[in-house]
Amino acid sequence: MSPPAADVVRLLTVRGETLAVAESLTGGLVAADITAVPGASKVFRGSVTAYATELKHHLLGVDAPLLATRGAVDAQVASQMAAGVRKALGADWGIATTGVAGPEPQDGQPVGTVFVAVDGPFATVPGSAGGGKVLALRLNGDRAEIRRESVRSVLALLLSELAGEHTGNERAQDTEQNGGF
């Protein structure tokens, strides 16, 4: 059981809030980490693993023209996935992962390009589709390392919001990460 997932469950329990997860490249790993925590059923509403691009539109409400022009590996797509799963599953918080774990590039994006997003009960950003934050990552490592680091990153982003560490910077941020820890 991962400590970030345990912290997420603990904080959501204390706050009396719920969580829904939308996953693409992580294929259910975020939901697995959360549900491995005893007591997760008090806060975890469920998850949607929308691996196929069209499912992001049909199940999560991601804008079809956005998917057609930008592809599934995009900051706005991640934001809309988080907002869509939050709405679809009736949760206080929604988190999402989308990206390229490899071995081949996708949608013109290189392996290691990942976007993680959180949508929750905070002020929305004018002009954004979701009311959340998106983090753009450039991860190193093999497929498994990229996927694990994506899980860690989305849980860390949610924890920063739950802990009230608002920076005021609501746009995507690029970070260099080594997915090999």
- Residue 46 has a pLDDT of 98
- Residue 73 has a pLDDT of 97
Of 58-67, 82-91, 129-138, 167-176, the least confident: 167-176
Q: Residue 131: is its pLDDT beyond 80?
A: no
Total domain count, the chain: 1
| pLDDT 10s digits, 141-165 | 999 999 999 999 999 999 999 987 4
| Cα(95)–Cα(164) distance, integer angstroms | 16
- Residue 21 has a pLDDT of 98
Kindly report the CATH number assigned to the domain that includes residue 96.
3.90.950.20
**Residue percentage of the chain with pLDDT more than 90:** 80
User: How many Cβ atoms are within 10 Å of 54's Cβ, its own excluded?
Assistant: 12
The answer to whether the bond into 121 is cis (omega within 30° of 0) is no
Question: In angstroms, what is the C-alpha Rg of the chain?
Answer: 15
Domain assignment of residue 9, given as a range: 3-178
Confidence band, pLDDT 50/70/90 cuts, at residue 63: very high
